[in-house]
Structure 1
Amino acid sequence: MLKQSASRLARVFAGVAALGVVGVLGAWSGSESRSEGKTITIGLIAKSQTNPVFLAARTGANDAARDLGKQYGVEIKIDWQTPVSEDAQKQAAYMERLVANGADGIAVSCSDAKTLTLAINAAVDKGVPVVCFDSDAPESKRFAYYGTDDFACGKQLGAELVQAMGGKGVVAILAGNQTAPNLAKRVAGVKEELKKHEGVKLKDVYFHKETAQDAVAKLEEVQRTNPEITGWAMVGGWPLFTDNALDNIAGKAKVVAVDALRQQLVYVRNGQVEVLLGQKVYEWGYESVRLLVEKIVNKQTPSDPVVRADLVRVTRENAEEYGRQWAKWLGEDKAKPGSKTGG
């Protein structure tokens, strides 16, 4: 009896050991083959579908999915989960949904850092890596941020405006969403630069909903009630997405703005805007996907988690050349592959 029991126990232990080996081999095989034959799904959460800069980012993400898919022998899908207009709560909900649906990584531009930090941390805690682009959540568990040095951007914007105004006058700052961390840093940069110039006075900072119509309405209201304003520093180019936006400003105030999209270039060409500072909006998507795929496939992260993107100074002299790039950035020269739409 004892011999039979011992024999049965030996067989059980052998079976358990065999299962353990199979389990280990299975786990090893899955991780090692991740770069071969697997579909990688990257969630892309921008601030809004109505801002063309994020459409360029979406094109960049799709292009990166195509290029890196070929490089690593995998299918990479971009799952576009972006609110129609800015809504940090919806962004957080989309992130939760992406995690629940099995996304392998997520890229997000944060409308509100505090709200998104909680969502980012929850995603990372469940094993989903997150990268921020354009607007960061620096206190979160995101492993990288790709985008503009916003404080430096604000300083450059302020310097460009002071030069255009001849070193004297009254400045207003058009600032979009008051809770967006990237815009707050740009505003701080403008203010810091203006302090250097005794002949320049800051009137105030003006916030608004980030649509062209709301931005134009705020711009016209402020200029009408404060005719002493002789310069506008726009930390985002929201009014310039619509026609005739500066008709009530022209001749009264100099204008400089961040972003240099196709619609906005018209204002540089006609002289109503002195300088546009173009961001790497296409690269927001491309580089975010590249960073995520490198982490997912190769377990690699950048040595510095903050990856800076340079600005491009756009004036009347180089506006045409710069504008020709937008056909690519908006995906007009090809169909957009592998993209799903969420709302």
Structure 2
Amino acid sequence: MNRRNALAVFALALSAPALAGDHAPPVKSYQFGVVAKSQSNPVFIAARTGAMDAAKDLEKKHGVQIRINWQTPTNEDAQLQAQFIEQLAGLGVDGITVSCSDANVLTSAIDAAVAKGVTVVTFDSDAPRSRRMAYYGVNDEECGRKLMQELAKAMGDKGGKVAVLAGNQNAPNLQLRVKGVRDEIEKLRDKGFTLKDVYYHKETAADAAARVQQVQAADPEIAGWAMVGGWPLFTQNALDGVYDKAKIVAVDALTEQIKYVQAGQVQTLIVQDCYGWGYKTVEMLFNKAHLGEEPRRVINTFELKTVTKDNASEYIDLWKKWLGEGDKKDAPSPSAPKPAGK
């Protein structure tokens, strides 16, 4: 080989990596839509944090790109949620995860998205008659039963008149929780527990607090409140005129709500995996889109935990991570904090 040919071969060898790079396969990318109930409720901000963290973790693990498309009404609006699902499906996203404000309204929107080839999962509030692939959240009837069990314990198992704060009457998850409370009260009837009534309201802190105070003032003999959502506890002085007359147990345990426990105005809070609503369902959608894998179960639930004065500070730290106020890298599920002394 003469000198000229040798140099040509050498130049070709040097250019080979660059040529190979020019033809390297593009990084695979995915887009998942997240449609929560409302941006005004912090539990769904935790779900958004979970979804974003799942995307980052999956990108690192699989060498892909993932975009989270957050489409959530400012306040609850099932019709607007349905529009968001339709728009996301029209964009050709790889999957949608949704918390249903009204299953009757959203079932057709979910089914239409699935018909277009878009995988849909639900979290927090299901649409069980839809074609969604899976659900992640609490077992709502079990949650209602647990709520009433904790309230009975707080009331000393001595019986009394119980009121139920129930939020949106059309939300299927809340209706199931109310059913669980009713069923448990029926079991406790021989101990003297009775149901005063179920009270629905607009799901804002101000409306919920006003409802509780009005009902309690009208009937001071109410001895316990089973709140299937912790709406009033997002505002200050929500329980004035109530906490000194009745025991209170509520679902959800955000920082503002936990302060009521620390102050002794609320006895127990039931914890939901709000961070996991986003994290787990984005994982489900990715596994379906990238790996072709579906969850082993359609209904995926988590163990219910409780917050009391004994472990309140642990959950405040957890919520700082869930809301992006602390280091989210190792944000755990609610199974991580252990009650004091255990």
TM-score higher than 0.5:
yes
Question: Equivalent pairs: percent with the same residue?
Answer: 57
The structural deviation recorded for 1:179 is: 0.5
Query: Among 196, 200, 204, which residue is 1:207 paired with?
Result: 200
Correspondence for 1:87 among 77, 83, 86: 77
Provide the rounded CA distance (Å) in 1 between the counterparts of 2:132 and 2:76.
21
Letter in 2 for 1:281: C
Equivalent residue of 1:50, what SS? Answer: coil
Secondary structure, counterpart of 2:217 in structure 1? helix
Q: Which residue number in structure 1 is paired with residue 181 of structure 2? A: 190
Deviation at 1:163, TM superposition (A): 1.3
Number of aligned residues: 302
Superimposed CA distance per residue, residues 276-331 of structure 1 (whole angstroms, 9 cap, x where no aligned partner): 00100000000010000000011111121101112211100000011111121111
> Aligned ranges for residues 142-181 of structure 1 at < 5 Å?
142-167=132-157, 168-181=159-172
Matched, 1:104 2:94: yes
Letter in 2 for 1:160: E
> In structure 2, how many angstroms separate the alpha carbons of the residues matched to 1:39 and 1:334?
26
State TM-score, norm by structure 1: 0.86
Per-residue deviation at 1:333? 3.1
| Aligned match of 2:306 | 313
Q: CA deviation at 1:335?
A: 9.4
Contact (CA 8 Å) 2:213, 2:240: kept in 1 or not? no
Point out 4+ residue stretches in structure 1 off by more than 4 angstroms.
none
Deviation at 1:332, TM superposition (A): 2.0
Partners of 1:169 and 1:71 in 2: CA distance = 54
Query: Residue 70 in 1 paired to residue 60 in 2?
Result: yes
Tell whether the 8 Å contact from 2:177 to 2:228 is kept in structure 1 after alignment. Answer: yes
Equivalent runs, 1:130-149 vs 2, <5 Å: 130-149=120-139
2:276 to 274, 283, 296: 283
Residues 117-139 of structure 1: CA distance to partner in whole angstroms, max 9, x if unpaired? 10000000000000000000011
Partner of 2:202, secondary structure, is coil
TM-score by length of 2: 0.86
Which sections of structure 1, spanning at least 5 residues, go unmatched? 1-32, 337-343
Q: Which moved more, 1:243-252 or 1:139-148?
A: 243-252
Q: CA deviation at 1:248?
A: 1.5
* Residue ranges of structure 2 left out of the alignment (5+ in a row): 1-24, 330-342
The CA deviation at 1:103 is: 1.2
- 1:322 paired with 2:315, answer yes
Query: Secondary structure at the residue paired with 2:187?
Result: coil
Letter in 2 for 1:174: L
Contact 2:78 2:106 in 1 (8 A): yes
Equivalent residue number for residue 336 of structure 2? none
Aligned mates of 2:154, 2:183 — CA distance in 1: 17
- With CA pairs under 8 Å and 6+ residues apart, which has the higher RCO, 1 or 2? 1
